Amino acid sequence: MTPATQPRAEARSWGQRLVILIPYLWLIAFFLVPFLIVFKISLSQYATAQPPYLPQLDITGGFETLREFVSELSFAGYARLVSDSLYLSSYGRSLAIALASTAMLLVLGFPIAYGMARAPRQWQGVLFMLIVLPFWTSFLIRVYAWMTILQRDGLLNQALLALGIVDTPPVWISTDIAIFIGIVYTYLPFMVLPIYATLERMDESLFEAAADLGCPRWKAFWLVTVPLALPGIIAGSLLCFIPIVGEFVIPDLLGGSGAMMIGQTLWLEFFGNRDWPAASAVAVVLLALLIVPLVLYQHVQARRLERGD
């Protein structure tokens, strides 16, 4: 209660300022600066040079060279994104796959999280471990494992044949189904854990109150459980949707060679065509697309913090 124990804003020590500064410095050094570099490259022109774009920024040359540098920047890379249907269809395909697989993840992940939250206390730790356990193996190895499972004479087809479910082995690998299987498998924990976190601290007496007021259990699920789990559902969905849009490894290894997701297009521009400006433009637009759900996510989180729950 004494004023001395309540530090005022202007009385912050250097130590306190440093602590606040560190995350900002980190973000500036490892996120903002790289982004500005990518943004600058996206405004450059392709060139058979080292590095493969022009103009180069020479800050030692004074004001005149700087003006020349700026005048050589162009939006040609961005114009190509619109004019060449390859890019638009890649973006579209990425968004469609991300949307569809997020929906699948939600349908699959919610019951898992619900089951975990309602399991006896002493089991919850084990279930939690089981969900997290796959992370202890390399992601790449797990995708390769799926390749062998899904290939023509892989485990899946062997099992289907042995059980007599099919006569001729269906093709899994190099199809969109394989992509969905890989994505849903990989991202499931990101959907389950945030939902579990909201369900797990839900007060059991709320359901009793709902029942007491004449609401049967199934209805209470929609009227109480889902609204209260909404922050977890939104967090889980965005946590899945955002990286799936940019996913490269799964469609590249499990998917076919036809239509590409935007991550594959980007990879091709960068390593195949060595067109750094085009690749950078693709990356910048991708980021711009994902800013919307990111800001949405921040907004939801901030609102929850404000409410203090």
Partner 1 sequence: MNGRGNRPDNSARTRGPFAPWTDPDALPLVRFEAVSKHFAGVTAVDALTLDIYPGEFFALLGPSGCGKTTLLRMLAGFQTPDAGRVLLDGTDITDVAAHRRPVNMMFQSYALFPHLTVAGNVAFGLKQDGLPKDEIAARMAEMLRLLRLEGLETRKPHQLSGGQRQRVALARALVKHPRVLLLDEPLAALDKKLRGETQFELMRLKERLGLTFVIVTHDQEEAMTVANRIGVMNHGRLIQVATPSEIYEQPNSRWVADFIGDVNLIEGRIVKADAAGTTIASASVGTLRTAAVADARPGDAVAVALRPEKIRIARDMPVGDVNRVEGEVWEIGYLGDFSIYKVRLGDAFVINTAAANVTRLIERPVGIGDRVWLTWAADAGVVLTQ
**Where in 66-95 is the site for partner 1 (CB under 8 A)?**
none
Please count the residues of this chain forming the interface with partner 1, following the rule CB under 8 A. 22
**Of 26-34, 198-206, 239-247, 248-256, which part binds partner 1 (CB under 8 A)?**
198-206
- Cβ proximity to partner 1, 10 vs 212, nearer residue: 212
Which CA distances in Å does 285 have to 201, 258, 260, 261, 290? 39, 23, 16, 14, 9
- Please, are residues 221 and 265 in contact by the beta-carbon 8 Å criterion? no
Check binding of 211 to partner 1 (CB under 8 A): yes
Contacts with partner 1, 141-160, as mask; x by CB under 8 A: --------------------
- CA 251-248-174 angle, to 5 degrees, is 15
Task: List the helix and strand counts (H, then E) for the chain.
Answer: 15, 2
The residues near 206 (Cβ < 8 Å, ≥ 6 apart) are 224, 228
Q: Segment contacting partner 1 (CB under 8 A): 27-35, 147-155, 201-209, 258-266?
A: 201-209
Binding segment (CB under 8 A) for partner 1, from list 52-60, 143-151, 180-188, 205-213: 205-213
- Judge contact between 105 and 191, C-beta under 8 A: yes
The 270-309 contact track toward partner 1, x by CB under 8 A, reads: -------------------------------------xxx
Are 245 and 262 in contact by the 8 Å Cβ rule? The answer is yes
Residue with tokens 């297009």: 265
Quick one: 84 or 208, whose CB is closer to partner 1? 208
- Which two three-digit tokens encode residue 221? 């699920």
d(CA 37, CA 42): 9
| Residue 207 contacts residue 199 (beta carbons within 8 Å) | no
> Closest CB to partner 1 among 22 and 223?
223
Positions in 7-66 near partner 1 (CB under 8 A): none
Q: Which residue among 17, 219, 299, 303 contacts partner 1 (CB under 8 A)?
A: 219
Site residues (CB under 8 A) for partner 1?
203, 205-206, 208-217, 219, 223-224, 227-228, 230, 307-309
